[in-house]
Amino acid sequence: MRGEPGELVKPQTDIAGKYSEIMGVDKSAIQNGRLYEFIDQWIGTPYKFGGLDKDGVDCSGLAFLLEQQVYGITIPRMTSKQINVIKREYEEDLREGDLVFFDFDGKKFSHVGVYLQNGYIVHASSTKGVIIVPLHGAIYKYFSRAGAIVDTLVSAQTE
């Protein structure tokens, strides 16, 4: 990946084109080259509980790696801890990189994705692997909470 974590690099034209089409936005709306290059490398990676590599990754592992490699932020590895490092936000206030949590199988905050833009998230689906889906698609009935990562909460969690 080009640039350093936290650095905003212009996306490659083909990557900007690909993801603007998937999310129904103008190509110019794809600004964060590091984010979309990261997604491009991981898209289609199978789901594997506890996984952290291209052989398989789980939802919290994907969020953990994305935040670290794209934004330079180290969040806890597990979903149950990731929920503690966000400042809750309303859906309409979500920004790129915010965490979005879901309750699957009646378990609170058992799944996490990362907000992109225009109502889309990237997550590691247990059946389809790493995919981009609309938040208001089939997954929405499980939506629980979302918010921005707060650095002060992260450092308190990791100390």
Q: How far is CA 146 from CA 34, 43, 48, 69, 84, in A?
A: 22, 22, 23, 21, 11
**What integer pLDDT is reported at residue 1 of this predicted model?**
80
- Main-chain dihedrals φ then ψ at residue 41, nearest 5 degrees: -75, -30
What residues act catalytically?
A: 59, 111, 123
How does residue 21 score in pLDDT terms, banded at 50, 70 and 90? very high
pLDDT at 52 over 80: yes
The dihedral of CA 8, 62, 97, 16: what is its sign?
positive
What is the Rg, in whole angstroms, of the alpha carbon atoms belonging to the chain?
15
**Which amino acid is it at 39?**
I
**CB contact at 8 A, 101 and 112:** yes
How does residue 157 score in pLDDT terms, banded at 50, 70 and 90? low
| Tens digit of each residue's pLDDT (9 = 90 or more) over 70-107 | 999 999 999 999 999 999 999 999 999 999 999 998 99
pTM reported for the whole predicted model = 0.95
